[in-house]
Amino acid sequence: MSKPEHIVVVGGGTAGWMAACLLNHAWGEGEQPTRVTLIESADIDTIGVGEGSTPYMREFFKRLGLAEKDWMPACSATYKCGISFPEWSTKPGFESYFHPFFSRMDLEPAADFFRNCNLRRRGQRVSAHPDDYFVAAELARQKKSPIPRQAFAYEHDYAYHFDAGRLATFLKNYARERNVHHVIDNVLEVITAEAGNISHLVTQNHGELAADLFFDCTGFASLLMGKTLDEPFISYSDVLFNDRAVAMPTPLDTSKPIPSETVSKAASAGWMWRIPLTTRYGNGYVYSSQYLSEDEAESELRNKLGAEAEGIEARHLKMRVGRVSQHWKGNCVAAGLSQGFIEPLEATAIGLIQFTIEQFIANFEKGEFTDAQRQGFNDSVNKAFDGTRDYVSLHYRLNSREDSQYWKDNREIAKTSASLTHLIEAWKQGEDFDAALAVEKSYQIYMRPSWYSIFSGMGCYPDFEESVPEYTLSAERARRLCHRTAKKFETHQASWLMAMGN
Ligand SMILES: Cc1cc2nc3c(=O)[nH]c(=O)nc-3n(C[C@H](O)[C@H](O)[C@H](O)COP(=O)(O)OP(=O)(O)OC[C@H]3O[C@@H](n4cnc5c(N)ncnc54)[C@H](O)[C@@H]3O)c2cc1C
């Protein structure tokens, strides 16, 4: 395989440093090592948010050979069992649900769960709320970490919360220690050559910077892929209305057990996140500017946080929601906010960055570039984006809130993809849902437990007369099973000390 000689990554946010670390790890050693340079501006801030991950991020650290004790303390990181969604649904008994990371330890109770969901949506009143059937939900309820006291014989899934600024600094140090060249400067101009390739960058203080491959990690500016190469941007604004956020950190009392879940609570025109780190909470409100002003959003968030937020400054952010149509064009690859963004409801952005870079490396190593090969890469990244968009948008489609026009419009006028429409209809009509998932496999990326959890968790079942008794036996058995398994786990603080080798 012939490696690129010199790669320039533009941008020093999470995406830029993830790209620099992974590219340098793949090609930075051995015969004819690739030179990796990262250039970032001192004048343009990173977005500075993005504090929750999916389980996929564990692969990122494993690939770099980093154990949790190597990076978690430096990033104020905590363990994450999943996400709870309070107040998205108003259906009695379904006012909140937990989207768990599914593991082998769930196999037995989950079998009952799938069966009960299918019975219930076909009219039998069995208890089928996801919170009863997954160990991760029980762990979150008990504020326990997903790390068992004694390791299981198999891997099980969990994810992380972390301080975004500290993670970028940690990755910067890691990359610089491994010979990634770091330049602090502004890119003033991007110069293209024949066939639309980028030939070099013009910088403010370092002259021209040439390379054979460029990574655009310039955030929402999308300086290389969007502004220079003019790659069309496909907006998701007709599917996902939220285009603003306001963020505010608050103190966390470390003398109490640290929660192991992200809370994503519905609000008047969007939802509010609460993410526990070891040093503080990250809080924020993601909303739509069509329905709420900046001031209104900030005051709603402040009201929710109460005394905790007194004297704390709020950061207001704009979000461009959608994706570029190609993520790899000529000798340029876009990763991070420059390639697109799905609002952060399921904390998927960093996973998409990782997927893009890993897919690129794997494709490049196959060599022999053809348009078909590049197209294959772009198709797989687009599927990851569109599939994530569909799953995220389902939270809005299934909401049953009547308290504002925002929630009604999210049910009634927001666009739904054909693939997602098929899944919603199949669920509601009592059709074979697993068969529908198999049909939509080429458009969707979430797994079966996630689909069943969201439909059932939002209470997407036929109505019953209150007098019809609910059959709860298998739910009680599942709860007991989850409770028993949860005894094998510790509080967050105890597992953290264990992981740090104390
Ligand atoms: C409200 C909100 C919540 C989020 N929550 C999550 C979450 O929970 N989980 C998750 O996975 N993701 C989340 N994200 C997304 C996540 O924050 C980003 O995907 C991630 O931080 C990557 O950002 P980035 O590196 O692409 O861009 P940025 O952080 O914006 O970095 C851009 C970089 O480009 C540089 N740059 C720009 N122009 C130039 C120039 N001309 N010359 C030189 N340098 C330049 C800047 O200096 C900066 O270093 C969230 C995003 C938002 C908006």
Tokens 């290389």 -> residue: 224
Ligand 1 pocket: which of 46, 222, 346 to mutate (most atoms <8 Å of CB)?
46
One-letter amino acid for residue 33 of the chain: P
Give the 3-state secondary structure of 21-61.
HHHHHHHCCCCCCCEEEEEECCCCCCCCCCCECCCCHHHHH
CB 203 within 8 A of CB 39: yes
Report the separation in Å between the CA atom of 15 and the middle of ligand 1, taken as the mean of its atom positions. Answer: 7
Query: Using DSSP, how many helices (H) and how many strands (E) does the chain show?
Result: 15, 23
Q: What does the pLDDT read at residue 502?
A: 58
CB 239 within 8 A of CB 320: no
Q: Report which DSSP code applies to 102.
A: P
Ligand 1 atom 35: residue of nearest CA:
11
Element (H, E) at 275: strand 270-276
Report the separation in Å between the CA atom of 381 and the middle of ligand 1, taken as the mean of its atom positions. Answer: 18
In the chain, what's the furthest Cα-to-Cα distance? 77
Catalytic residue among 62, 69, 80, 172: 80
Q: What CATH number has the domain spanning 6-47+182-238+321-386?
A: 3.50.50.60
CB 129 within 8 A of CB 97: yes
The tokens for 338 are: 């420059």
Residue 9's DSSP bridge partners are 38, 215
Rounded to whole angstroms, the Cα distance separating 15 from 12 reads 7
Does the beta carbon of 282 lie inside 6 Å of ligand 1? no
Digit-by-digit pLDDT tens for the chain (502 residues) are 678 999 999 999 999 999 999 999 999 998 899 999 999 999 999 999 989 999 999 999 999 999 999 999 999 999 999 999 999 999 999 999 999 999 888 998 999 999 999 999 999 999 999 999 999 999 999 999 999 988 887 878 999 999 999 999 999 999 999 999 999 999 999 999 978 899 999 999 999 999 999 999 999 999 999 999 999 999 999 999 999 999 999 999 988 999 999 999 999 999 999 999 999 999 999 999 999 999 999 999 999 999 999 999 999 999 999 999 999 999 999 999 999 999 999 999 999 999 999 999 999 998 767 888 889 999 999 999 999 999 999 999 999 999 999 999 999 999 999 999 999 999 999 999 999 999 999 999 999 999 999 999 999 999 988 788 888 888 999 999 999 999 999 988 788 777 776 5
Q: What are phi and psi of 259, to 5 degrees?
A: -60, 155
CB 13 within 8 A of CB 168: yes
Q: What does the pLDDT read at residue 337?
A: 98
Q: pTM of the entire structure?
A: 0.96
| Position in ligand 1 atom list of the atom nearest CA 275 | 8
| Position in ligand 1 atom list of the atom nearest CA 349 | 11
Rounded to whole angstroms, the Cα distance separating 174 from 17 reads 9
Does the beta carbon of 40 lie inside 6 Å of ligand 1? yes
Q: DSSP alpha helices (H): ranges in 127-163?
A: 135-141
Q: What are phi and psi of 157, to 5 degrees?
A: -85, 140
Q: Burial code of 39-77, b = ≥16 C-beta within 10 A, e = fewer?
A: bbbeeeebbebbbbbbbbbbebbeebebebeebbebbbb
**Three-state DSSP state, 214:** strand
| Position in ligand 1 atom list of the atom nearest CA 46 | 29
Which of 473, 502, 463 lies closest to 116 in space, CA to CA? Answer: 473
Other Cβ atoms less than 10 A from the Cβ of 149: the count is: 11
Rounded to whole angstroms, the Cα distance separating 264 from 266 reads 7
Ligand 1 atom 37: residue of nearest CA:
218
Domain boundaries, the chain: 6-47+182-238+321-386, 91-146+417-490, 244-313
Other Cβ atoms less than 10 A from the Cβ of 454: the count is: 23
Report the separation in Å between the CA atom of 380 and the middle of ligand 1, taken as the mean of its atom positions. Answer: 22
Does the beta carbon of 44 lie inside 6 Å of ligand 1? yes
Rg (CA), the chain: 23
Does the beta carbon of 336 lie inside 6 Å of ligand 1? yes
Tokens 């440093």 -> residue: 17
| Position in ligand 1 atom list of the atom nearest CA 52 | 8
Does the beta carbon of 344 lie inside 6 Å of ligand 1? yes
Q: Burial code of 251-289, b = ≥16 C-beta within 10 A, e = fewer?
A: ebeeeebbbbbbbbbbbbbbbbbbbbbbeebbbbbbbbe
Rounded to whole angstroms, the Cα distance separating 421 from 416 reads 6
Does the beta carbon of 218 lie inside 6 Å of ligand 1? yes
Q: What does the pLDDT read at residue 494?
A: 84
Ramachandran category for residue 11: left, alpha or beta (phi over 0 → left; psi -120 to 50 → alpha): left
| Position in ligand 1 atom list of the atom nearest CA 217 | 26
CA distances from 297 to 239, 247, 271, 302 (A): 21, 10, 10, 9
Report the separation in Å between the CA atom of 399 and the middle of ligand 1, taken as the mean of its atom positions. Answer: 29
CB 147 within 8 A of CB 89: no
Active site residue 80: yes
Report the separation in Å between the CA atom of 426 and the middle of ligand 1, taken as the mean of its atom positions. Answer: 37
User: Which distant-in-sequence residues (6+ apart) come within 8 Å of 228 by Cβ?
Assistant: 190, 192, 198
CB 194 within 8 A of CB 72: no
The tokens for 43 are: 């004048």
Does the beta carbon of 57 lie inside 6 Å of ligand 1? no
Ligand 1 atom 27: residue of nearest CA:
219
Which contacts (CB < 8 Å, 24+ apart) does range 463-471 have? 464/125, 468/125, 469/125, 470/125, 470/126, 470/127, 471/124, 471/125, 471/126, 471/127
Element (H, E) at 263: strand 261-267
Rounded to whole angstroms, the Cα distance separating 342 from 346 reads 9
Ligand 1 atom 9: residue of nearest CA:
347
| Position in ligand 1 atom list of the atom nearest CA 284 | 1
Between the CA atoms of 329, 392, 293 and 291, what dihedral angle is there, to the nearest 10 degrees?
Answer: 110
Which of 183, 245, 218, 452 lies closest to 339 in space, CA to CA? Answer: 218
Report the separation in Å between the CA atom of 49 and the middle of ligand 1, taken as the mean of its atom positions. Answer: 8
Q: What does the pLDDT read at residue 368?
A: 67
**Three-state DSSP state, 369:** coil
In residues, how long is the chain? 502
Q: What are phi and psi of 316, to 5 degrees?
A: -100, 135
CA dihedral over 246, 252, 256, 257, signed as positive or negative: positive
